[in-house]
């Protein structure tokens, strides 16, 4: 992505009427206004949502991808750095560049998916901080001569942004199939050549065909993974 390109206006969807408050962020209750998502919303995005490997032959229009990005871009990143860059692979020609870089087990999934998002991380993200985090005048200096800090920040925040993308996609009625089984150097060469962007992971997007879906793999319980101190 060209770091000097004009940013697109962000026009997220308005909150459902039931969740809107007249006071909103002014009542001290945060953007949720203290109310939880409805059971139906939790079901769509979490309880019933599954990683999909098979896909219906139903296209995902470009406007939906734009809306998806507009929502996902609102998720927080450190110093508002937003290192995630995306290539939405849709055409046969772009698919032909991607498929040879995938592990064999992922090829059919990606071929059938209406969209494969290539999620990259821009290691030159500090150059945009004067615009994205203007009030912190020493933001760029914090990263100067610190390639490990740049790399870990890019990986952490682009991974978070990938998670926001998955959550937003599900809220928009899409299914997701994230993939890390690919040759990263080959995907970099195919999609980010000559740039400062490196691939983080891939994510199939579309309307999932749930036939043949295995039982959901178990999650760690609260007591295994968490501790309240």
Ligand X SMILES: Cc1cc2nc3c(=O)[nH]c(=O)nc-3n(C[C@H](O)[C@H](O)[C@H](O)COP(=O)(O)O)c2cc1C
Could you tell me the smallest distance in angstroms from the CB atom of residue 13 to ligand X? Answer: 24
User: 102 - beta bridge partners?
Assistant: 182
Positions touching ligand X (CB under 6 A) are 50-51, 53, 106, 178-181, 201, 216-217
- Quick one: 20 or 216, whose CB is closer to ligand X? 216
Nearer to ligand X, 149 or 216 (CB): 216
Q: How far is the CB of 200 from ligand X (least distance, A)?
A: 8
Q: Please, which residue, 77 or 106, has the CB nearer to ligand X?
A: 106
Tell the smallest beta-carbon distance from residue 118 to ligand X (Å): 13
Closest by alpha carbon to 51, among 221, 225, 206? 206
Complex with ligand X: residue 79 or 172, whichever CB lies closer: 172
Question: Among all residues, whose Cβ is closest to ligand X?
Answer: 181
Which bin fits 49, alpha (ψ -120 to 50), beta or left (φ > 0)? beta
Taking the least distance from each CB to ligand X, the nearer of 114 and 177 is 177
User: What distance in Å separates the CA atoms of residue 223 and residue 46, rounded to the nearest whole number?
Assistant: 20
CB of 139 to ligand X, least distance (A): 28
Q: How far is 121 from 21, CA to CA, in rounded Å?
A: 36
CA distance 154 to 157: 5
Q: Please give the Cα distance from 115 to 90 (Å, whole number).
A: 5
Min. distance of Cβ 77 from ligand X in angstroms? Answer: 18
Q: What is the arrangement of strands in the sheet containing 115-122, beginning at the earlier edge strand?
A: 84-89, 115-122, 197-206, 175-179
């Amino acid at each position: 992505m060209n770091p000097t390109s004009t940013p697109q206006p962000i026009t997220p969807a308005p909150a459902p009427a039931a969740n809107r408050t007249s006071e909103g962020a002014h009542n001290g209750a945060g953007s949720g206004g203290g109310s939880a998502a409805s059971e139906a919303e939790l079901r769509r995005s979490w309880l019933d949502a599954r990683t999909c490997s098979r896909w219906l032959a139903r296209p995902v229009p470009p406007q939906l991808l734009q809306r998806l990005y507009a929502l996902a871009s609102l998720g927080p990143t450190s110093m508002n750095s937003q290192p995630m860059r995306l290539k939405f692979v849709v055409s046969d020609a772009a698919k032909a560049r991607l498929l040879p870089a995938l592990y064999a087990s992922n090829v059919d999934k990606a071929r059938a998916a209406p969209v494969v998002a290539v999620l990259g991380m821009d290691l030159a993200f500090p150059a945009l901080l004067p615009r994205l985090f203007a009030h912190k005048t020493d933001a760029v200096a914090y990263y100067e001569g610190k390639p490990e800090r740049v790399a870990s920040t890019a990986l952490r925040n682009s991974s978070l942004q990938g998670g926001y993308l998955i959550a937003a996609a599900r809220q928009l009625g899409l299914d997701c199939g994230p993939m890390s089984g690919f040759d990263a150097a080959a995907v970099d060469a195919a999609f980010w050549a000559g740039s400062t962007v490196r691939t983080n992971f891939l994510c199939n997007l579309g309307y999932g065909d749930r036939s043949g879906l295995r039982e959901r793999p178990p999650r760690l319980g609260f007591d295994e993974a968490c501790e309240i101190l």
